[in-house]
Amino acid sequence: MEHQAFMQLALAEARANVLEGGRPFGAVLVRDGQVIARAANGIHLDHDPTAHAELLAMRAAGRALGSPRLDGCVIYASGQPCPMCLAAMHLSGVAAVYYAYANADGEPYGLSTAAVYAQMALPLAQQRLPVQRLTPEGEEELYRAWQERRP
């Protein structure tokens, strides 16, 4: 399959989700020209704020591949990935991302994450969400304990 065909699959997931009462987001994860996983936004199903189509497809792909690493995988998404999804793609080794609709396209419908991108570009101290380090006194062994238990 070609890029256009994979994107059509992602858009089909999004359209089907709209008909089921969900948001217009779908994703397809591909490796070596094969669809590994596909998903639609599931926030409306179980009220999980992280149930974005891209994350659900990545979770399914991790299970299918038996690894949290998605090196060499490509994601096709109906909408521009939000910062959460994009961060997960970076952390898991996704090789490339293609999307059909940009934040600007979704803005008139309340479907843009541009404001979140803007907040996250600010230094932590300037963001609206307070993020502060709080390490209890005497707490210093957690990472060392993890390192010592690794095979």
Is residue 77 classed as helix, strand or coil in its secondary structure?
strand
Catalytic residue (one of 54, 107, 140, 141): 54
To 10 degrees, what angle do helices 114-121 and 83-92 make?
60
Is residue 32 classed as helix, strand or coil in its secondary structure?
coil
Q: What span, in angstroms and rounded, lies between the C-alpha atoms of 124 and 128?
A: 9
Residue 137 is among the residues annotated as catalytic for this protein: no
- Cβ pair 113, 103 in contact under 8 A: yes
Tell me 113's DSSP state.
-
* Active centre residues (catalytic): 54
